[in-house]
Amino acid sequence: MFYFKFLWFISFFFVLQINFVFAAKQVIIIDNTLSKIELGQYYDDKPLSYNFFLKNQGVDKVENLTIETSCGCTTALTPRKFISSGKMMKVSIQSDLTGKRGIIYKEFVVNYKLKNIVKKKIITLSFSVVANIKAHHAKKLTDVLFNDKCGKCHATPAVGKKGKALFKAVCGFCHGKNGGGASARGFTSVEYMKNFNPKLAKNIIEKGTTDESMPGFLNDHGGPLNAEQVDSLIQYFLNRKKDYLRFIN
């Protein structure tokens, strides 16, 4: 009996140690290199929370430190704006995963001053997101992307724009500014151009994808665009197709 208890005790200790190893701090040194943080897989119904540490290994104090993120869905908070020589500071990241699918990259630009010289360091965070089909109350991208908080980037820039400018303003966030692809597919491949189907594309732009990873953009479906704007986007795709066909013939 004692022997089993002892075994149990040993294995318990072992498990604790493993946990301890996994919980090791991720420390990023402030220098002029690009740093990467790779995380695992997350469900879309809860925000991602992650902490890492910024370390100042130099002899001078890091001052005026701010962290910029490109998408308002992701924030990086710090308790102070400086890090003394040899010290570390915790950075807390939160990312709203609503509507995200697949592998996502987020860039953090750390702006700071060293001996009064303005510097920056870039940190890229990558993780993958899957839909939690068990979460019946998960927020839908359609319900949030065009509201006050998210819409200042994802909807308002569409106002008064058409065609290419409109694509760059609101589609580029997911499909790449020039349509080359980002978190969502690109439209510039030979295959896509050849097989481009304006009816199908129009339907998706107006109503969104069935899994709602892309919300409907037509105002009748809760989006920021009128029918004329959607038509201008289809025309933009068709013009690109024409250019492409002219190029290969």
CB nearer to ligand HEC: give 122 or 153.
153
CB nearer to ligand HEC: give 57 or 92.
92
- The reply on whether position 198 binds ligand HEC by CB under 6 A is no
Q: Which range of residues in 22-30, 42-50, 84-92, 210-218 is near ligand HEC by CB under 6 A?
A: 210-218
Are 124 and 107 in contact by the 8 Å Cβ rule? The answer is: yes
To ligand HEC, the closest distance from the beta carbon of 238 in angstroms equals 12
| Binding residue for ligand HEC, selected from 48, 89, 110, 170, defined by CB under 6 A | 170
- The reply on whether position 204 binds ligand HEC by CB under 6 A is yes
Q: Which range of residues in 1-9, 36-44, 142-150, 240-248 is near ligand HEC by CB under 6 A?
A: 142-150
CB nearer to ligand HEC: give 62 or 169.
169
| Binding residue for ligand HEC, selected from 67, 155, 171, 218, defined by CB under 6 A | 171
Half-sphere exposure of 234 (CA within 13 A, CB side): 18
Question: Which residues neighbour 88 within 8 Å (Cβ) at sequence distance 6 or greater?
Answer: 27, 53, 54, 55, 56
To ligand HEC, the closest distance from the beta carbon of 137 in angstroms equals 16
Q: How far is 213 from 144, CA to CA, in rounded Å?
A: 12
To ligand HEC, the closest distance from the beta carbon of 66 in angstroms equals 15
Please give the structure tokens belonging to residue 160.
Answer: 């008064």
Q: Which range of residues in 8-16, 21-29, 47-55, 163-171 is near ligand HEC by CB under 6 A?
A: 163-171
| Binding residue for ligand HEC, selected from 11, 17, 178, 209, defined by CB under 6 A | 209
Half-sphere exposure of 222 (CA within 13 A, CB side): 15
Residues between 225 and 244 that touch ligand HEC (CB under 6 A): 233
| Binding residue for ligand HEC, selected from 35, 142, 213, 232, defined by CB under 6 A | 213
CB nearer to ligand HEC: give 56 or 217.
217
Contact residues: ligand HEC, CB under 6 A = 70-73, 96, 98-100, 104, 106, 141, 144-145, 149-150, 152-154, 167, 170-171, 173-175, 183-185, 201, 204-205, 209, 213-214, 217, 233
